[in-house]
Amino acid sequence: MVQLHFLVVSFPAQGHINPSLQFAKRLIRIGAHVTFVTSNSAHRRMTNTPSLEGLTYAPFSDGCDDGPKLGDFHFIHELKRHGSRALTDLVVAAANDHQKVTCIVYNFLLTWVPELARDLHVPSALLWIQPAAVLDIYYYYFNGYEDVIDRNNNDPSFCLELPGLPSLTCIDFPSFFLPSNTGLHVLSLFRELIQNLEKENKARVLVNSFEALEAEALRSIDKFNMVAIGPLIPSAFLDGKDPSDTSFGGDLISSSMDYMDWLNSKPEASVVYVSFGTTSALSKTQEKEIGRGLLECRRPFLWVVKQPTENGKEEGEILENMEELKKYGMVVPWCSQVEVLCNPSIGCFVTHCGWNSTIEGLVAGVPMVTFPQWSDQPTNAKLIKDVWKTGLRLNLSEEGLVKGDELKRCVETVMEEESGEEMRKNAKRWKELARG
């Protein structure tokens, strides 16, 4: 029997690499061979890279080997130019070596892959690493709703009803629909993606979600064959089928393990975990308010603060009130988030609502306080609060800040015995459903 051979192609960003690698591991477990493809710069920075039988790496130069500028249109263009050549060479070489590629799996900013796959006569599948609901929203935006959304995207009273989705206001839309959007080239990439998917007969879309979570959204678009294949997190924290699978293996930043000993010393459901992802950067004023809110909570906390070094100071040291913060909590530049969330000491997750973080929070059964920044995050916050009912959304002040007292209010509501009881029950229910 001929062994299946998949090319799994990932955009060179942490939030894309992690689920892509996890999906690659799943394919290997069913006997397939996987060639994992990403840029040289990302591959060089990947720590704890999985070394598994059946998994090979084929990094390529994207023209930015010192590190990409992820929001730069020139980089996106160069990635397409270099990536197309690299994928073509891989497919041809595999065929010549009698290891013909069965399918190319790609994630969403690599919009050129399905067309290239058609030219190479190789099937392709999109690995969608946001919720199915967000893909639905993009589809409807480009299929009849663009004008009505653009006309009303600054009207707080506007409410949009889309098939299979909850009612949406402008604060729930993906940020690329809003007047404040500075990433018009990203919106054009989503348009290109939808157009390429529509060229196929029932395009295959593999969604990092699970059936119970998004049953309606997964079936909302008749033209696509959307299949839930998530949650894409390490097996040790999900179904336990592979206890050795404790890490995504694609971390682009190293972490220290001191925080795990600290968490293990804390009572159950007592710690507030705070992290805003790998690409979101808060202003110094906003960080100060977050710190003030955490101090006012008087609860132990673990806060991930990833910042570039300034004036020779290490990450985390540039926070104000550091000594006072250390009396209650721990500030780290990076951590193994899924391991942290699954630690019994965690009682609340203050999150930017990136989809990887959101689904990890659901799998861990931790209620959330949401502070969405951009892209799909506002929609994810809507789903957390109003559909899955496992958390609250932080309100912004007139200055556009989350004030310390607002953070305290939401954290206390989630963690207090009576006020947060329903959210904690719902979080536990989704945990059970996610783990099957």
For the annotated catalytic residues, the residue numbers are: 16
> How many CB atoms within 10 Å of residue 102?
17
Instruction: Report the alpha-carbon distance of residue 206 to residue 20 in Å, rounded.
Output: 11
Token pair listed for 46: 């990947």
Cβ within 8 Å of residue 104, ≥6 positions away: 6, 7, 9, 87, 91, 113, 117, 122, 123, 124, 125
Q: Which string of DSSP letters, residue by residue, matches 66-134?
A: T---TT-HHHHHHHHHHHHHHHHHHHHHHHHTT----EEEE-TT-TTHHHHHHHTT--EEEEE-S-HHH
For 253-283, give one letter per residue: b (16+ CB within 10 A) or e. Answer: eebeeebbebbeebeeebbbbbbbbbbbebe
Helix (H, G, I), strand (E, B) or coil at 274: strand
Angstrom CA distances, 164 to 135, 137, 167, 315, stand at: 12, 10, 10, 43
Residue pair 296/268 in contact (Cβ under 8 Å)? The answer is no
Which residue spans within 314-399 are E strands per DSSP? 329-332, 346-351, 368-370, 391-393
Distances (CA, A) of 421 to 35, 51, 225, 367: 46, 43, 37, 10
Under 8 Å between Cβ of 319 and 290:
no
3-state secondary structure of 348: strand
Nearest to 367 by CA among 351, 356, 378, 379: 351
CA distance 153 to 174: 11
Tell me whether strands 5-9 and 33-37 are parallel, antiparallel or unpaired.
Answer: parallel
Whole-angstrom Cα distance, residue 217 to residue 355? 15
Alpha-carbon distance of 88 to 142, in angstroms, equals 30
DSSP 230: -
